[in-house]
């Protein structure tokens, strides 16, 4: 593939709900631009973009694929970098990375299914990133696909900015062509994607006039000159309409609606024409960053003449493909066999060969110009989100904004001998997927794996087995309970041991009571009179209390909120030692704790759930079942509610799966630890029994 100038590049991301047809759209675009001479299918597992073994097996996209295609546009050859993204919410990190690299979006909507939660999420991502967008309605060959109803639904959901550029022509309940609303011309499909002129059917006239009026109003509002012409009743020229619409699409004031059929490869010539005419090239856009030398805000125009700068928007770490860092070049020209400065790491990286990736196929190129997307293999320190530049002009561009993972499970290697291998493999997978995190939990002697959802973690386990031949076991995590006391108890702890020579002797009388300060394990005081216990043994007594608090007598969880007071005791001038008093204090602690009404404390989370209005009743009912307390509810933009609640952390386990089930995938949540409070008796009994069972198993 030749090297393209900035003005001849379009970076376009495919967004939409899972199974809406994004990968099929990408495959059809590859087919009609001669990238492939055989139309692949998701069901057959032979598409250009879904090349991963798990994607073929599960029949949906898991990672973002980059598919550069070439198209002969009106003003010359065009390179369109298609970014095919996953639709399932567990893989939202892949989508967020792709959106950060794109300059425009195609929101794919299944004409039969209509608006789905993924459609809404795609729109919200475009709004958040101010991305020009269009809707492409697939499955128009299905006789149950109602384009008219879908347009009404899209207008109702997203406002009057949604504008159909086409209307379908159907004969005998079959999709045979379309009417071009901009040019007011009929088109009939001939051979697959090709079409010819045809008369506009009478039954389309009414809806055509409505769609046309909406477009002309939008055109008129784009300038005072056109507004005057509109009110004077003068006709706009096709050039005036297209120019005004292009500016409106670029400014996100209009989202065109196009249509097609993936099975019959219909509608993709028009889609390519619209990408060419209406989507901006990087030359018309800016990249926002910070000048690392001054800390000042920096705006870069995509420009080949400036010094090199760019950012890594994605990393691929595959044992078969190797490691690739995927760049978006912001300024200048990146050349093969050169050096760049990693601004984030403050170190120089050597660039070897340059590639553009098409699915899993690297294609070598001599250079990449500003605005283009390409890849470099085997960089040693560069990670996703890092910026490259020259040392004397260090620019840091904003990294992709990635969702925080809240779903977690305990994990371990199936074979203990594979633990190091698993650690290395997980590190590689985290380089590739920034929504995966690992965290050590020494308190419960477990390792935790965080992700967006349960399905993502299952896919990770399958990939680890396939790529690195290491088996991952995922289990329900142990939760960080605490133990404390509710009453006061006075006890004696006496340790006496005689075994020839010096013996061991330590004797303490202690009082244990609740301090109600759950941020501290214990407070220690001494009220010994008359030297019953010499002062030099006080630290040993406190040490015994300190160590006893690490693993409580009730269920083996850390102790908090205890006040320990040393009242009395006795000692032996020869046999007493620090170790003896430490042991005596431990004995006193165990007895006193169990006599002082010990209870279990459970961790309480503060939860925020973001859901559409229609689901608030179901969500609040479910939270109540989980022993949650609703704190409040606030309306937010887009017809949604933010529900705030408190509930036990143990009842949040795999909450993501249940929330999606209740809301059709449209709900999201976040939480953070808030405090500890006493667990109900039935929960306490279950946890204590589980601790006993674990202890018995370990023995």
What pLDDT, on a 0 to 100 scale, did the predictor assign at position 192?
A: 85
Give the pTM. Answer: 0.91
Determine the Cα–Cα distance for residues 106 and 131; give it in Å rounded to an integer.
10
Which pLDDT score, from 0 to 100, does residue 1 have?
86
First to last CA, the chain: 65
pLDDT digits (tens, 9 = 90+) for 317-354: 877 778 999 999 999 999 999 999 999 999 999 999 99
Cα–Cα dist 104/277, whole Å: 12
The residues, ordered by sequence, that sit 6+ positions from 660 with a Cβ below 8 Å of its Cβ are 89, 453, 667
What pLDDT score was predicted for residue 395? 95
C-alpha to C-alpha distance for 436 and 374, rounded to whole angstroms: 24
Mean pLDDT in consecutive groups of 10 residues from the start of the chain, 699 residues? 94 96 97 94 94 93 97 92 96 97 98 94 95 97 91 92 94 93 94 92 90 86 85 88 93 95 95 97 94 91 94 90 92 96 96 95 96 95 96 93 96 94 95 96 93 96 95 94 96 86 88 94 92 92 96 94 95 89 97 97 97 95 96 91 96 94 92 95 93 79
At residue 225, the pLDDT reads: 87
Give the pLDDT confidence score for residue 500 in this predicted structure: 63
Strands of 286-291's sheet, edge to edge?
296-301, 286-291, 395-397
Own/partner pairs, 144-153, CB within 8 angstroms, 24+ separation: 144/112, 145/111, 145/112, 145/175, 146/111, 147/111, 147/259, 148/207, 149/114, 150/109, 150/111, 150/114, 150/115, 151/257, 153/114, 153/115
Following DSSP, what letter does each residue of 197-231 receive, concatenated? EEPPPHHHHHHHHHHHHHHHHHHHTT-HHHHHHHH
In sequence order, which residues have a C-beta less than 8 Å from that of residue 182 and are 6 or more positions away? Answer: 165, 215, 238, 241, 242, 245
Q: Residue 144 has what pLDDT?
A: 85
User: What is d(CA 130, CA 128) in angstroms, rounded to the nearest whole number?
Assistant: 6
pLDDT at 543: 97
pLDDT at 91: 96
Which domains, ranges and CATH numbers included, belong to the chain? Answer: 6-283 (3.40.50.300), 286-397 (2.40.30.10), 407-475 (3.30.70.870), 484-596 (3.30.230.10), 603-682 (3.30.70.240)
C-alpha span between 510 and 483 (Å, rounded)? 19
- CA-based nearest residue to 636, from 616, 659, 661: 616
């Amino acid at each position: 593939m030749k090297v393209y100038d900035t003005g001849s590049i379009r970076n376009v991301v495919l967004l939409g709900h899972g199974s809406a047809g994004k990968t099929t759209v990408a495959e059809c675009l590859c087919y009609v631009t001669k990238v492939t001479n055989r139309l692949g299918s998701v069901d057959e597992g032979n598409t250009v973009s879904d090349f991963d073994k798990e994607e073929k097996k599960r029949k949906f996209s898991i990672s973002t694929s980059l598919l550069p295609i070439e198209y002969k546009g009106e003003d010359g050859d065009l390179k369109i970098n298609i970014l095919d993204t996953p639709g399932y919410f567990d893989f939202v990190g892949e989508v967020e990375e792709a959106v950060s690299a794109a300059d425009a979006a195609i929101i794919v909507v299944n004409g039969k299914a209509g608006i789905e939660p993924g459609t809404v999420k795609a729109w919200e991502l475009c709004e958040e990133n101010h991305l020009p967008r269009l809707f492409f309605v697939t499955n128009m060959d299905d006789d149950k696909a109602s384009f008219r109803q879908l347009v009404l639904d899209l207008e109702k959901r997203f406002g009057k900015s949604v504008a159909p550029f086409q209307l379908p022509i159907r004969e005998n309940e079959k999709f045979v062509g379309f009417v071009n609303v901009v040019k007011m011309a009929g088109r009939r499909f001939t051979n697959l994607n090709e079409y010819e002129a045809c008369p506009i059917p009478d039954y389309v006239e009414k809806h055509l006039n409505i769609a046309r009026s909406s477009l002309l109003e939008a055109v008129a509002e784009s300038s005072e000159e056109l507004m005057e012409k509109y009110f004077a009743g003068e006709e706009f020229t096709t050039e005036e309409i297209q120019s005004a619409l292009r500016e409106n699409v670029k400014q996100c004031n209009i989202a065109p609606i196009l249509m097609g059929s993936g099975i019959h490869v219909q509608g993709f010539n028009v889609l390519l024409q619209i990408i060419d005419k209406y989507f901006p090239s990087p030359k018309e856009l800016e990249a926002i960053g910070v000048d690392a030398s001054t800390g000042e805000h920096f705006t870069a125009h995509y420009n080949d003449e400036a010094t090199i700068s760019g950012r890594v928007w994605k990393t691929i770490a595959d044992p078969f493909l190797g490691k690739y860092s995927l760049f978006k070049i912001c300024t200048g020209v990146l050349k093969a066999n050169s050096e760049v400065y990693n601004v984030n790491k403050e170190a120089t990286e050597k660039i070897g060969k340059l590639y553009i990736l098409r699915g899993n196929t690297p294609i070598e190129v001599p250079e990449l110009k500003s605005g283009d997307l390409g890849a470099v293999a085997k960089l040693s320190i560069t990670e996703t989100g890092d910026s490259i530049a020259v040392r004397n002009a260090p620019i840091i561009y904003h990294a992709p904004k990635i969702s925080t993972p809240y779903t977690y499970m305990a994990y371990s290697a199936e074979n203990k001998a594979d633990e190091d291998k698993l650690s290395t493999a997980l590190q590689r997978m985290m380089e590739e997927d920034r929504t995966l995190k690992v965290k050590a939990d020494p308190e419960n002697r477990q390792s935790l794996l965080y992700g967006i959802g349960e399905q993502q973690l299952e896919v990770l386990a399958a990939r680890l087995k396939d790529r690195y031949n290491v088996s991952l076991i995922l289990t329900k995590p142990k939760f960080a309970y605490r133990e404390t006391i509710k009453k006061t108890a006075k006890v004696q702890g006496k340790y006496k041991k005689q075994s020839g020579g010096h013996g061991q002797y330590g004797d303490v009388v202690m009082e244990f009571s609740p301090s109600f300060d759950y941020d501290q394990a214990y407070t220690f005081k001494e009220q010994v009179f008359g030297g019953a216990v010499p002062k030099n043994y006080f630290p040993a007594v406190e040490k015994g209390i300190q160590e006893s608090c690490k693993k409580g007598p009730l269920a083996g969880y850390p102790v908090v909120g205890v006040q320990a007071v040393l009242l009395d005791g006795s000692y032996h001038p020869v046999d007493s030692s620090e170790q003896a008093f430490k042991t005596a204090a431990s004995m006193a602690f165990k007895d006193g704790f169990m006599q002082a009404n010990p209870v279990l404390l459970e961790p309480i989370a503060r939860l925020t759930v973001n859901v559409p209005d229609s689901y608030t009743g179901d969500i609040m009912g479910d939270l109540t079942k989980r022993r949650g307390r609703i704190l409040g509810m606030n309306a937010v933009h887009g017809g949604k509610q933010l529900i705030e609640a408190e509930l036990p952390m143990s009842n949040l386990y795999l909450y993501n799966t249940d929330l999606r089930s209740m809301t059709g995938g449209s709900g999201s949540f976040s939480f953070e630890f808030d405090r500890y409070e006493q667990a109900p008796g039935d929960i306490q009994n279950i946890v204590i029994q589980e601790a006993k069972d674990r202890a018995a198993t370990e023995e």
